[in-house]
Amino acid sequence: MTANWTEVDLVSSNSPPPIKKSKIVVANGVELTTTVSVPTNTVEDTDSTKSRKMHHEPMDVTDSNSMTNSKSHNEVVDTNLYSRQIYALGENAMLYLRKASILISGMGSVGVEIAKNLILGGVRHVTIHDTKNTTWNDLSGQYYLKESDTGKNRASVSLEHLAELNDSVTVKLLTNELSEETISSFDLVIITDASFEKQIIINEWCRSRKIRFTSVDGRGLFSYIFNDFGDEFIIDDVNGEHPKEFLIEHIGKDGDVTTLEGARHGLEDGDYVTFDEINGMTQLNGIKPLKIVVKKPNVFNIGSENVSQLPEYIDGGRCKQVKVKVPMKFKSLKESLEDPNFLYWDFAKLEAPNHQLQLWKALYTFEATYGRSPIPRSMSDADKLRELLKGSDIPDQAINQFSFQATGNLAPVASVVGGIAAQEAMKAVTHHTTPLNQFLFIDHIEALPGDYSAFDNAKLTEVDCAPKGTRYDGQAAVFGWKFQEELLKQKWFIVGAGAIGCELLKNVAMMGVGCSDKGKIVVTDMDQIEISNLSRQFLFRKNDVGLKKSECAAKAVKGFNDKINISALSLKVGADTESVFHDEFFSNINGVLNALDNVEARRYMDRRCVFYRLPLLESGTLGTKGNTQVVYPYLTESYSSSSDPPEKEIPICTLKNFPYEIQHTIQWARDLFEGLFTNPAESANQYLSEKDQFIKRTAQMNAGQKIELLTAVKKALIDDRPKTVEDCIKWARLLFQEYFYNSTLQLLHNFPPNHLTNEGIKFWSGTKRCPQPLIFDVNSEEHYNFVYAGALLQAQQYNIPFVLTDTEFRRILSTVVVPKYEPKSGIKIAVTEAEAKLNNEHHDTDDVVSSLENELNNLNLVGNNLLYPIDFEKDDDTNHHMEFITAASNLRAANYSIKPADRLKTKQVAGRIIPAIATTTAAVAGLVTIELYKMIDADGKLPNIPMSQFKNGFINLALPFFGFSEPIKAPVKTYGEKEFTLWDSLDVKGPLTLQQLIDWFEQETNLELSMLSSGVSLIYSFFMNAQKRKERTSMEVSKAVEDVSKIPTPTYTKYVVLEPMANSKETDEDVEVPYIKYEI
């Protein structure tokens, strides 16, 4: 049947007035009664065939906040909104998304998850389709459907909610049956909730019109994805990683290329590279990409035929990896069902893909035959399914479980498969990274409780899982109603309401966790919502910008399940908030879900969970990569038990004088910003407002620190203090001269271009790039931006109005007299870190300190107003922070002939921004909440679950790759004949005197206590004098701690943690024991 299209103009009463109305297209005959958020800055592009043909047009960045197609100029991308996604996918991929048109059929839990992710990701046109009406079974996984929506078309109900997610995406609705003509205008068709028979028909339509095709389905703990992107699909970038780039130490005539200073090149056999800046073998500079073979981590070969006839290599050279296009051919669905290609989900289940393909085929046949799905826990229906699988080698138990879950509908499973499928959709329309080839079958069967639990799934009956006409029917079909009742009573703490936090909240609300008077969800996040959050933190809208994340997220998730008992806090977690997150708080929760973006907070929460013996579900993402970790009491290691190696820091002398990568100049510019506009003003304000305290603090510093601090304060209050806007402009112009001309001349004076080291080696070689001074040019954008932004920020610091036209600014700038600079002799410039340290030590003189102190003492503090320190804010384009840093970085790059970076790249490095995308976040949050299912037992207890049931996960959606492993077991230690792990402590209940505690410890452990500490306070030691020991040991333990630490024990504290040092009574050797947990 062919749909007849009509166009309906809709304007949301909650949205700002649009520049033009967007067109939301509805199939003829559909009654639409809801209003929809509409795009406010969009350009219609309905010719998707043209879009496909234009796919490989070159793209460019047109200004600081937008990108556009360089030929058609018909689409502008908001880089503030999509910045984190651009860092994950790249600028070209983002532009291709903004031209794409995708149809998603089936608005069940899986379909709506895919639609949500693609709309957040900025796909230009998304059409949602469904012919099915809402049932109770839908409500356990489809978060845009409510009880009152039963009987209504799923797509129609979802339309408004999906359209609200992103006002730069046109969302369309179709409710008639699909036809070949209907699908003809799309770049990609995604089919969910459909049988293989129906999928094959649509797949053949797509192949005949060169439209890419994906199908997805999910039942209970099982799901799958299938891709067919045609016979001639081209991958532009197979892995999405930034091209490797490194310096060269040597190139031999045999073609061996050795990296400088043994650096790892990170290349693989078959990669391609090109070169520049080589001296000697200059013919390699700019050569077409050469295929390489890896020989060592720091050596690869480009083939002797490419270098044997060239002159000898002299020095220099930079090598850069080149991404080459890779063709990929897909088979049709019909062919794939007979001759499938599988990607493994879990390498511990090598038989699973083939078995699950047969199971899904049989399930679709069962439903076509009987007009329904198998009934949960019905052995009769399981036998019918088994009959359809006669002759297969699938174990009976596997068939039973698949049959039992055929009506299951789980939000976490939809989150996983929907996130992965949405990433595959992005690959289809962007050609960025490697698509799935071609089937991926997923199962999470370990989530079913075993005989270690009161909810053993083997004991479930049809009655235990029968639908009751509630929103949890789809989940009870899998786990049973008693399990569901326990979920409602669970109490969990979600730390963070950002991207992962939003997804976790969505999942727990749909699962029913904390959705009763006896249950509770507490969420905390101290951050406010920013524009850049909206492309992946789907609980927020534009009118939420500036509001607290936790409060908005809690309100939004109430819309998914109004029974959720949720409390929102805006506090960070740490020692200074333990008055809120105290002993009683942690004693009243079942576990913690971390959704944090920094290691320090993660480690803190990890320590708290270990102390209170609570399970912790940890997760994180980096672009298309994600990981999950289970921390379970008495079973696994903790998050802090292992850690990544620390990031390699850039040496100070490299930053100051010898940069050779753009990252160096960006970091230098960021440091310059803080050194000019943040730190000096803060120090000067401390001097002005509390001079006596300032002097006391500086007295504790060494001479070098004093000189640095006092010089900064003197400059801020005396030397550089402006009175007028003209002073600010002069200061900024002379700043340019100092950093990009004078300092370079001084460096070249100390080390001329032909300078040799004591060993006779060229000084300017290897990582040292010989600089050139920059002559100021007011017509150069970077030159002008540096002076303009610098002057404006200087004026802001001193509260001087800065209201100038461009003409006025240039006129004042032209009057600045720049003194001629003559390089000075005797100036020491550090070449190594050791020299830098030595230089600092050598200039530490009391005379310099005294001179600075005298000048500041002579300053009249009356009338000296406080300064306004400027904290770096990367996401506000009106504050000129990124303008200054980008200009400063690129000017320094020009000094050293380093390729400059655009504002977007500079912002990522300077702001230390982690790439992020909604697809990975959804998948990771789904994996985490599937692990939560495993932690449920009767009466809020933790099950005695085998380690093998848990899964730590690592995923890379770009490749794609999925890896799972059991958590690492908590290391076991011993003292005497007793074993203990990080989860154990020596628990004792007070009140006890310190002596009583010592006696108890020695009796309990059969060891001798030599020392006892609490935090940094030493409470007891064997070398204390007799009188002090007698006084101390007679005190109650908590009072003894207070006596030493001088800090009163807070009223909310139930426990004192004591660290004992003990030794054997027989050998006198030190013995490691658990800490003491003393209950006051």
What residues contact 1076, with CB distance under 8 A and at least 6 apart?
985, 986, 987, 988, 997, 1001, 1012, 1057, 1058, 1059, 1060
Is 1007 contained in some domain?
A: yes
Q: Is 362 a domain residue? A: no
Q: What's the token pair of residue 572?
A: 């960070």
CA distance 408 to 531: 37
Could you tell me which residues are beta bridge partners of residue 301?
256, 293
- Of the candidates 480, 360, 532, 429, the residue with the CA atom closest to the CA atom of residue 876: 532
Among the listed residues 872, 879, 905, 878, the one whose alpha carbon sits nearest the alpha carbon of residue 890: 905
The Cα–Cα gap between 121 and 168 comes to 10
Nearest partner of 471 among 404, 363, 576, 564, judged by Cα: 564
Domain count, the chain: 3
Residues 742 and 838 grouped into a single domain: yes
Residue 831 within a domain: yes
Whether 334 is in a domain gets the answer no
Reduced to 3 states, what is the DSSP secondary structure of residue 655? helix
Residue 851 parent element (H or E): helix 846-857
Q: Which residue intervals of 1-67 are DSSP H helices?
A: 48-53
860-898 per-position pLDDT tens digit: 766 678 999 999 999 898 999 999 999 999 999 999 999
Strands (E), 897-1036: 952-956, 961-965, 973-975, 978-980, 986-989, 1007-1014, 1017-1021
Higher pLDDT, 691 or 421: 421
Give the confidence band of 782 by pLDDT, cuts at 50, 70, 90. very high
Identify whether residues 869 and 782 lie together within a single domain.
yes
- The mean per-residue pLDDT over the stretch 902-929 comes to 97
Nearest to 265 by CA among 307, 300, 301: 300
Cβ atoms within 10 Å, residue 1007 = 20
Which residues, at least 6 apart from 769, have a Cβ–Cβ distance to it below 8 Å? 658, 659, 660, 896, 897, 898
Q: Which of 36-50, 143-157, 918-932, 997-1011 has the weakest average pLDDT? A: 36-50
Q: What pLDDT, on the 0 to 100 scale, is given for residue 859?
A: 80
pLDDT tens digit string along 419-438?
999 999 999 999 999 999 99
Residue type, 125: H
pLDDT of 58 = 38
Shared-domain flag, residues 997 and 875: no
Cβ atoms 843, 835 nearer than 8 A = no
Asked if the model's pLDDT at residue 28 lies above 70, the reply is no
Residue 1026 burial (10 A CB sphere; 0-12, 13-18, 19+): exposed
CB atoms within 10 A of CB 948: 10
HEC readout, 691-741: HHHHHHHHHCCCHHHHHHHHHHHHHHHHHCCCCCHHHHHHHHHHHHHHHHH
Judgement on whether residues 714 and 852 belong to the same structural domain of the protein: yes
**Bridge partner list, 253:** none
Provide the percentage of residues in the chain whose pLDDT is more than 90. Answer: 85
Q: Domain boundary residue among 301, 322, 343?
A: 322
Residue 645 resides in a domain: no
Cis bond before residue 771 (omega within 30° of 0): no
In one-letter notation, the amino acid at residue 838 is: L
Please state the φ and ψ torsions of residue 157, each to the nearest 5 degrees.
-70, -35
CA torsion through residues 837, 841, 842, 847, sign: positive
Which of 609, 653, 728, 770 is catalytic? The answer is 653
Q: What is the mean pLDDT of residues 22-48?
A: 34
Q: Look at residue 273 and tell me if it is in a domain.
A: yes
Beta strands in 608-703 (DSSP E): 616-622, 625-631
Residue 98 CA, distance from chain mean position = 23
The verdict on 1009 and 891 lying in the same domain is: no
User: Residue 791 sits in which domain range?
Assistant: 660-897
Whether 983 and 873 map to the same domain: the answer is: no
Same structural domain, 1004 and 890: no
**Cβ-contact 619, 920 below 8 angstroms:** no
Residue 850 lies in a domain: yes
* Cα distance between residue 396 and residue 385, in whole Å: 10
Least confident of 45-49, 539-543, 1014-1018: 45-49
Residue 273 CB-half CA count within 13 A: 29
Give, for 250, the enclosing helix (H) or strand (E): strand 245-251
Instruction: Report the CATH number at residue 842.
Output: 1.10.10.2660
Same domain, 885 and 988: no
Q: How far apart are CA 89 and CA 75, in angstroms?
A: 18
Give the pLDDT confidence of 996-1051 residue by residue, as tens digits. 999 999 999 999 999 999 999 999 999 999 999 999 999 999 999 999 999 999 99
Active site residue 465: no
CATH number, domain containing residue 1054: 3.10.290.60
CA-only gyration radius of the chain, Å: 33
Mean pLDDT confidence for 93-97: 97
Q: What is the mean pLDDT of the chain?
A: 92
Please indicate, yes or no, whether residues 866 and 998 belong to a single structural domain of this protein.
Answer: no
Question: Contact 88/117 with Cβ under 8 angstroms?
Answer: no
Whether 589 maps to a domain, the answer reads no
Task: Provide the 3-class DSSP secondary structure of residue 1055.
Answer: strand
Terminal-residue alpha carbon distance, the chain: 75
Q: Residue 120 is encoded by which pair of tokens?
A: 């957040």
Cis upstream peptide for 995 (omega within 30°): no
> With contact defined as beta carbons under 8 Å apart, do 303 and 401 qualify?
no
Mean local confidence (pLDDT), 187-204 = 99
Contact 174, 155 (CB under 8 A): yes
CATH number at residue 301: 2.40.30.180
Q: 847, 863, 897: which is the final residue of a domain?
A: 897
Can you tell me the distance from the alpha carbon of 456 to that of 43, in angstroms, rounded to the nearest whole number? 56
DSSP conformation class of 756: B
* Tokens describing residue 679: 């730190």
Closest CA to 306 of 337, 326, 324, 283: 283
pLDDT of 849? 80
How long is the chain?
Answer: 1080
Peptide bond into 915 cis (omega under 30): no
Up-side HSE of residue 968: CA atoms within 13 Å toward CB? Answer: 12
What letter would DSSP give residue 954?
A: E
* Co-location of 761 and 892 in the same domain: yes
Q: Using an 8 Å Cβ cutoff, are 499 and 525 in contact?
A: no
Last residue of a domain, one of 857, 874, 897: 897
pLDDT in tens, 319-370: 999 999 999 999 999 999 999 999 999 999 999 999 999 999 999 999 999 9
Q: Output the CA–CA distances (angstroms, integers) from residue 395 to 348, 389, 398, 462, in the order listed.
A: 16, 11, 5, 21
CA distance 918 to 923: 9
pLDDT of residue 71: 39
Residues 744 and 887 in one domain: yes
* Cβ-contact 174, 128 below 8 angstroms: yes
Q: Locate the DSSP E strands across 370-481.
A: 439-443
Do 883 and 1012 lie in one domain? The reply is: no
